[in-house]
Chain A
């Protein structure tokens, strides 16, 4: 029995030793060859790269090799694919370069404005077939996102320039990206809030008004989207656009939204209403006045707010109208009289003067209108767009203006910070103070330079102060001047000047 046990123990011991011997680590390198390992790194991969259209994307990551330098054995491939959240991931990768250093002009396919892309560098060792990868995240942005858009007239044809926040200027933007000529440019209209009209995707709108019709342009790319006629259910028989804008029920920048769309074309009112309901919203037919006819001629200005969706002025009947937002009867978009309780300082329904200018005042929801009476005297009428049942009055002030040259102004803009209207005559800009009824400051440019456009901006990127932009034209060249406005409205002297424009006809801050 003992003998048997010994035999069994011997077999078990032998088996255990055989098993344990397999634990020995084989250090043999026989038949193994060390391969070249390519290392790729770039701190730019840690964040999303914002790349602007028109910009050259230049990337050269750090490359290391575990063996001797074998650059001639390496193949490079830069590929990109749509990496947006909405991407289906079945879109094909686009190969954009086969060089180690990427130098690629981002302009059109395969990159779309606003989309996110994954850009991948693949390095392949031709001798072994081993591949190494490095991924970048790209966001295709728009370098024209924030800055001043400048509308110019170049011998009757329109063009756009852009003044960036770093004061760089780019000219010829319109002609660079649009094939349709802009004949007789008149005005820029940019909405500061998104418009959901279902004509196209919701977003801010850019309209350029011109003699032979305005057009809607892509707010980001400034490429033409629609003809003027397309914006209407039935295009007006005479095309002479003067205003194409959207009023907002709220003035708070967080709550602003498109209330009533206002087009003034050939002195006639057309309206458009958006607000979440289905269907395509286009501008409607000519509005009728309270007498039920179209015998009116609107001044090219429109205001509006919560109480009155839109307020316009008729230079034929010499009175204000408010525009009906929505109702079956009387029909939406009609020009209507104000209730008598709205008027005290002057009669909104019977002003008796011609409107020559209107702009926002220094108090929100209040507006200054410059009027000309039958004796060629200028009056300032101030009113507001808000009322309540307990306080229905909207007229605020009527005053004979002491503002030399205001009746012949060439450009003007109201301050939204201080009680001032800046207006231009010939080569001079005057600062008229609405509270004291005097011109408190003037600034003169060289005699040959005539003021063609003025815009006041309370807030602009890169400036802690309000800014006044004044455009001049000397017969051959347009110039644009920046004035930094003091907290009491003072202009002082200009802080920047930009050259090389055509005749500037309008300015708008794009953001």
Chain B
């Protein structure tokens, strides 16, 4: 009877021990990879008016990043215009290759913008949005689209008050046109490096001095004398 008990116990213990030999399922990330727009700002207001007339197209780079693992093959991202856009795809703009390359975690999508006659008196807009597809889920809900405004109209840069006014004072179209001419800078909607602002402010002051000596005070559209602080 005792022997039977021992045998039973032994058999049970053996079964328990053998059960531990089963392969444990590892806790691994197995979700579908997500994608989101990585840009710090969610929009670009692009104007050709700050570029020489010879510039007929340009590129806006939009950075994308994934949440998840890199793949061994290239994966297509669906990045398409939202409905209601006034900018016409293939005419005002064209979206470049939207691919996360193999073994990569990010990509830059080029959006080519074109200088068209109608942009002289109108502003066109498009919002590009990420869509779910077989390879990608959607990432952070507030970083799934990117707005682009295209024009050929000289407008006050969005960063003027935050950045440029410290160097150049109050905005006026006359002043801005003069700055475009003498500094050579075309992108006024990105933060400048300190060395650039040093030179730009010096160049602007010297150029205005030369202008005033040759033509008298420069007057802006508000009837004010153009000055740099």
Asked if A and B bind, the verdict is yes
Find out whether the CB atom of B202 lies under 8 angstroms from the CB atom of A285. Answer: yes
- The answer to whether B193 touches A279 (Cβ under 8 A) is yes
Interface string of B193-211 (1 = CB under 8 A from A): 1111111011101100100
> Contact at B201–A280, with CB atoms within 8 Å?
no
In the complex, what residues of B have CB within 8 A of residue A339's CB?
none
Residue A234 CB within 8 A of the other chain: yes
Task: Establish whether residues A333 and B209, one from each chain, have CB atoms under 8 Å apart when the complex forms.
Answer: no
Q: Is the Cβ of B198 less than 8 Å from the Cβ of A284?
A: yes
Instruction: For residue A261, give the distance in angstroms from its CB to the closest CB of chain B.
Output: 10
- Choose among B167, B196, B202, B205 the residue that contacts A279 (Cβ–Cβ < 8 A): B196
Contact A326 B199 (CB under 8 A): no
**B229 close to chain A: CB less than 8 A:** yes
Answer whether A326 and B198 are a contact pair too, CB < 8 Å, given A288-B206, A294-B206. Answer: yes
How far, in angstroms, from A234 to B198 measured CA to CA in the complex?
12
Q: Is A273 an interface residue (CB 8 A)?
A: yes
Q: Which residues of B contact A273 (CB under 8 A)?
A: 194-195, 198
Contact flags (1/0) for A290-317 with B, using CB distance below 8 Å? 0011100000000000000000000000
Q: Which of B194, B203, B209 has the most CB of A within 10 A?
A: B194
Residue of A nearest to B209 (CB): A293
Once bound together, how far apart are the Cα atoms of A288 and B201, in whole Å? 11
> Which residues of chain B from 48 to 73 have any CB-CB distance to chain A below 8 Å in the complex?
none
* Contact status A282-B193, CB under 8 Å: no
A278 at the interface (CB under 8 A from B): yes
Question: A63 within 8 Å of B by Cβ?
Answer: no
What residues of A have a CB within 8 angstroms of the CB of B198 in the complex?
Answer: 271, 273, 284, 326, 331-333
User: In the complex the two chains form, is A332's CB within 8 Å of B201's CB?
Assistant: yes
Nearest opposing residue in chain A for B164, CB measure: A328
Query: Measured between alpha carbons, how far is A332 from B198 in the docked complex, in Å?
Result: 6
Please give the number of chain B residues whose Cβ is less than 8 angstroms from any Cβ of chain A in the complex. 17
Q: Is B9's CB within 8 Å of the partner chain A?
A: no
Interface presence of B159 (CB below 8 A) = no
Would you call B154 an interface residue if the criterion is a C-beta within 8 Å of the partner chain's C-beta atoms?
no
B174 beta carbon closer than 8 Å to chain A:
no
Q: How far is the CB of B105 from chain A (nearest CB, A)?
A: 23
Interface size of A by Cβ–Cβ distance < 8 Å?
26
| The one of A278, A284, A293 that contacts B193, using a Cβ cutoff of 8 Å | A278
Most buried by A among B196, B202, B205: B202
Q: Which residue of chain A is the closest to B197 with respect to CB atoms?
A: A328
A279 near B194 (CB under 8 angstroms)? yes
A287 interface residue (CB < 8 Å to B): yes
CB atoms of B195 and A285 under 8 A apart: no
Docked pose: A494 CA to B166 CA in angstroms: 58
- Selected from A277, A287, A292, the residue in CB contact (under 8 A) with B194 is A277
Once A277-B194, A281-B195, A326-B194 are accepted as A-B contacts, the answer to whether A286 and B206 lie under 8 Å apart by CB is: yes
CA distance A285 to B199 in the complex (A): 6
- Is the CB of A329 closer than 8 A to any CB of chain B? yes
Q: How far is the CA of A272 from the CA of B228 in the complex (A)?
A: 20
**With A292-B209, A333-B198: A285-B203 Cβ-Cβ less than 8 Å:** yes
Asked if A405 is at the interface of the complex by the 8 Å CB criterion, the answer is: no
The interface residues of chain A lying within 8 Å CB-to-CB of B194 are: 273, 277, 279, 326
Closest 5 interchain pairs by CB?
A: A279-B193, A328-B166, A285-B202, A331-B201, A233-B199
A-B contact pairs, 30 of them (CB 8 A): A233-B203, A234-B199, A271-B198, A272-B195, A273-B194, A273-B198, A278-B193, A279-B193, A279-B196, A280-B193, A284-B198, A284-B202, A285-B202, A286-B202, A286-B206, A288-B202, A292-B209, A293-B209, A294-B206, A294-B209, A326-B194, A326-B198, A328-B197, A328-B229, A330-B229, A331-B167, A331-B198, A332-B198, A332-B202, A333-B202
Beyond A234-B199, A279-B196, list 13 extra A-B contacts (CB 8 Å): A233-B203, A277-B193, A278-B193, A281-B195, A287-B202, A292-B209, A326-B194, A328-B166, A328-B197, A328-B229, A329-B229, A331-B167, A333-B198
